[in-house]
């Protein structure tokens, strides 16, 4: 009969579609991965992968059994977790994939508070794109994800983690650093720094611009950067202006490296959600975190309040 270690090798190889990368993740040699796959194929006289030189693709049989293999591994994981926590002590490995800047700044505070209550849980934060988070949740290769927009999907459920304002920042020596408010039309005339096209923050920003009757294509984009930190640094260096997460900008605001400018009749708030698959079985640590978020919405509010106090006091 096929065994659990062989199933793990198959699933990892199916996810990576590369035996070398699967071997690295499993801490095995590439030959060991190949031998495991071949052992299953010989046993059942079928091909799980179609080989094309160094690349591989799942065969029809491989595609058919992959969801079942994942389910077996998940059930095994739940069984092991139940036995490990039989005495009521919650432990285990907790992985969260995050696709938002706000989430990356909030989650460490959330996990620090969570681990005070559950000190034996080991946590890991993985950063990836929003689409990758959703794809891996739907294929159930990932259990918990954090995204910057509510996701309508019959197989996923979301709960609100925090709300973060999207604010306009300018270099400290910019003429607007001494004014109270500006108009959005005037912002669109400024040298503008943007994120890549699939940034959740900028998708929300551009949708909000359209809602007030303006075209986001009219921003005078002079630079497009891959992450929020690089965008904020470009503003610090006087290259242009941008809209950014208030949480992310708090430190630079406090140190006077950038200035916030209010935009007349234009307020954008980003809601950040914890997401999971509705039919997934979860280890106890994952279930505890999901419930913890629902019971401790004040954590996000308190963090935002402390960041606001710091940014106004100018002290870290």
Residue 304 lies in a domain: yes
In the predicted structure, residue 139 carries a pLDDT above the cut 60: yes
79 and 103 assigned to the same domain: no
pLDDT of residue 316: 39
Cβ atoms 181, 264 nearer than 8 A: yes
Condensed to tens digits (0 to 9), the pLDDT of residues 252-279 reads: 998 899 999 999 999 999 889 999 988 7
* Domain assignment of residue 71, given as a range: 4-84
Average pLDDT, the chain: 86
In the predicted structure, residue 314 carries a pLDDT above the cut 50: no
Secondary structure class of 143 (helix, strand, coil): coil
Condensed to tens digits (0 to 9), the pLDDT of residues 242-252 reads: 999 988 888 89
Most confident of 14-18, 75-79, 198-202: 14-18
How many CB atoms sit inside 10 A of residue 130's CB? Answer: 21
Residue 89 lies in a domain: no
Condensed to tens digits (0 to 9), the pLDDT of residues 203-212 reads: 889 999 999 9
Q: Which residues contact 254 (CB under 8 A, 6 or more apart)?
A: 310, 311, 313, 314, 315, 316
Residue 90 lies in a domain: no
241 and 176 assigned to the same domain: yes
Strands (DSSP E) contained in the chain are: 49-52, 55-58, 92-98, 121-127, 145-147, 156-170, 181-182, 191-195, 220-225, 242-245, 259-263, 268-277
pTM of the model: 0.71
Q: What is the DSSP letter of 241?
A: B
Residue 191, phi then psi, degrees to nearest 5: -60, 125
Residue 91 lies in a domain: no
136 and 78 assigned to the same domain: no
Which of residues 227 and 243 earns the better pLDDT score?
A: 243
Last residue of a domain, one of 61, 84, 107: 84
248 and 112 assigned to the same domain: yes
The string of DSSP letters for 159-181 reads EEEEEEEEEEEE-TTSGGGG-SE
Residue 168, phi then psi, degrees to nearest 5: -90, 130
Q: How confident is the model at residue 123 (pLDDT cuts 50, 70, 90)?
A: confident
Cβ atoms 280, 105 nearer than 8 A: no
Q: Which tokens in the block code for residue 65?
A: 């059994």
Cβ atoms 274, 159 nearer than 8 A: yes
Count the domains in the chain: 2
CATH of the domain at 57: 1.10.10.10
């Amino acid at each position: 009969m096929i065994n659990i270690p062989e199933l793990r090798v198959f699933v990892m190889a199916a996810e990576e579609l590369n035996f070398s990368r699967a071997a690295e993740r499993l801490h095995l040699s590439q030959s060991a991965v190949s031998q495991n796959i071949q052992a299953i194929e010989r046993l059942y006289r079928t091909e799980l992968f179609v080989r094309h030189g160094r690349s591989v693709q799942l065969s029809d049989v491989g595609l058919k059994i992959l969801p079942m293999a994942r389910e077996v591994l998940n059930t095994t994981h739940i069984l092991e977790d139940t036995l490990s926590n039989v005495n009521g002590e919650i432990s285990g490995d907790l992985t969260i994939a995050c696709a938002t800047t706000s989430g990356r700044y909030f989650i460490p505070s959330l996990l620090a508070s969570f681990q005070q209550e559950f000190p034996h849980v080991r946590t890991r934060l993985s950063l990836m794109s929003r689409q990758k988070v959703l794809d891996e949740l739907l294929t159930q290769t990932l259990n918990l994800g954090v995204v910057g927009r509510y996701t309508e999907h019959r197989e996923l459920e979301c709960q609100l983690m925090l709300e973060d304002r999207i604010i306009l920042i300018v270099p400290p020596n910019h003429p607007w650093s001494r004014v109270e408010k500006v108009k959005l039309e005037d912002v669109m005339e400024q040298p503008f720094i943007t994120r890549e096209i699939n940034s959740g923050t900028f998708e929300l920003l551009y949708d909000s611009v359209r809602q007030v009757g303006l075209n986001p294509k009219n921003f005078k984009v002079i630079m497009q950067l891959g992450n929020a930190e690089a965008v904020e640094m470009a503003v610090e260096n006087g290259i242009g202006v941008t809209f950014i997460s208030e949480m992310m900008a708090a430190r630079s605001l406090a140190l006077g490296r950038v200035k916030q400018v209010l935009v007349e009749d234009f307020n954008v708030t980003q809601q950040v959600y914890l997401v999971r698959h509705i039919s997934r079985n979860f280890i106890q640590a994952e279930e505890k975190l999901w419930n913890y978020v629902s019971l401790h919405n004040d954590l996000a509010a308190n963090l935002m309040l402390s960041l606001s106090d710091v940014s106004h006091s100018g002290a870290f």
